[in-house]
Structure 1
Amino acid sequence: MNKNLKSAIGTLSIVIILLFSVEGFSQDFKFGISAGLLNGSGKIKDETGTLSASNTGFYTGAFANIKLNEKFGLMPEVDYGNLNGNSSWFFSTRANYYFVPKFYVQAGPQVFLLSRSLTDDIKQAGIDAVIGAGYDITDHFHLQARYSFELTDRFKVDNGGTAKLNNLLVGIGYSF
């Protein structure tokens, strides 16, 4: 089995275990689905300069919304994304802070896994920092936007340059 796939399965297993552990402590626990716009950008920097590219596609996924109290919550999420036929997976757990009852900001870690490497020089898995915001329209629907900053270098070898992939996800979610 591919090392990156093992890592993603391990991360997903930890998230599932945490979900069931946190459920007993939460005031409000909901599962849901989400979908929306995915904008991905890549940047390669080396001694010759910088090369950038971006594409727009879609994402869809499943999440848990775990409200710990009136101000704090957790939102683990697994998303599938597609940009020009290139598939990817996002495994994130974000902490939500509610400024007012329906509006929140969020931040947390994310594992970003390409279904296949774009080139032989690029790693399939990366670690991101995610920030975002959301608005609960009703008890069941929410709007959300989040941006992920790649923390890892995607180059497989140290060639004096860096390769980073960043993503913007804007969408709607429905909680059961």
Structure 2
Amino acid sequence: MKKHYLFVLSFFIFNASIWAQQARFGVKAGLNVSNIDNNDSFYDKNSNYRTSFHTGLFAEIPLSSKFSFQPELLYSSIGKVDEYDLNYRSFDLEPLSADSFKLVQKRNYLAIPLTFRWFVGERFSINAGPQVSFLLNTVSKAKGDDLPESFNEVYKASGDFKLDYGAVLGVGYTINDNLNIGLQYYRGLKDLFGDSDFDIIDRKAYHSVFQLTASYSVF
């Protein structure tokens, strides 16, 4: 049995050395258009997409002439923008000069996509795979005209590296040997309310992110 284990270990070490020699490394950056899907209709109808960015490093490891494995390490800022109507109130308040405001919720992650690329032509590819992310911090800020002073405070909190996970699916186009552009979608599979200290019955929320990205192989 020990000989079998040694053979398997040697096989993986040998192939890993070949993959490392053939691998390409580079940088990537692009646009995030994100929201948080919510099964609560009250919160979902007020929720809108937030535009931000992602940037980081990648490695492309060929597995065959048509397939490759592409792990990445990215800083990715996602979240959503909620709109609230201040004229709709169920209790008396002092008159407000603003009719509405937007609450921008930023969630900044260290994201690790582990995708596989399938080259369906000379320049086109399809990529898919899992992604795990660790929450670095959250930032919330109200925006609007003539808001009361109490609304202008920025709320920041550590993310304590809370885990998010999901799946990535996208397409890519190779412009030349070094430059590639792509469009992909990330769907979170981790219920964000699972991290809450409150017992919220039948309320779930998941990340939903469209990404337009450009990657450049450095070596």
TM range (shorter): 0.7 to 0.9
Letter in 2 for 1:130: V
Q: Is the 8 A contact 1:70 1:101 kept in 2?
A: no
Residue 68 of structure 1 corresponds to 63
Letter in 2 for 1:159: I
2:40 to 24, 46, 52: 46
The structural deviation recorded for 1:21 is 6.4
Residue 150 of structure 1 corresponds to 188
Distance 1:38 1:49, change over 3 A: closer
* Larger-gyration structure (1/2): 2
Aligned pairs (5 A) from 1:124-163: 124-155=162-193, 156=195, 157=199, 159-163=201-205
How many residue pairs are counted as aligned between the two chains? 157
Distance 1:49 1:103, change over 3 A: same
Q: Which runs of 5+ in 2 are unaligned?
A: 1-11, 79-103, 141-156
The structural deviation recorded for 1:53 is 2.8
The structural deviation recorded for 1:93 is 0.6
The structural deviation recorded for 1:150 is 1.0
Letter in 2 for 1:34: K
**Equivalents in 2 of 1:55, 1:47: separation in Å?**
19
The percentage of counterpart residues that share the same residue type is 27
Residue 112 of structure 1 corresponds to 133
Q: Is the 8 A contact 1:47 1:160 kept in 2?
A: no
Residue 167 of structure 1 corresponds to 209
Check if 1:82 corresponds to 2:103. Answer: no
| TM-score normalized with structure 2 length | 0.62
Letter in 2 for 1:96: R
Distance 1:159 1:82, change over 3 A: same
Letter in 2 for 1:81: S
| TM-score normalized with structure 1 length | 0.76
Q: Is the 8 A contact 2:29 2:55 kept in 1?
A: yes
Q: Which runs of 5+ in 1 are unaligned?
A: 1-17
The structural deviation recorded for 1:86 is 4.2
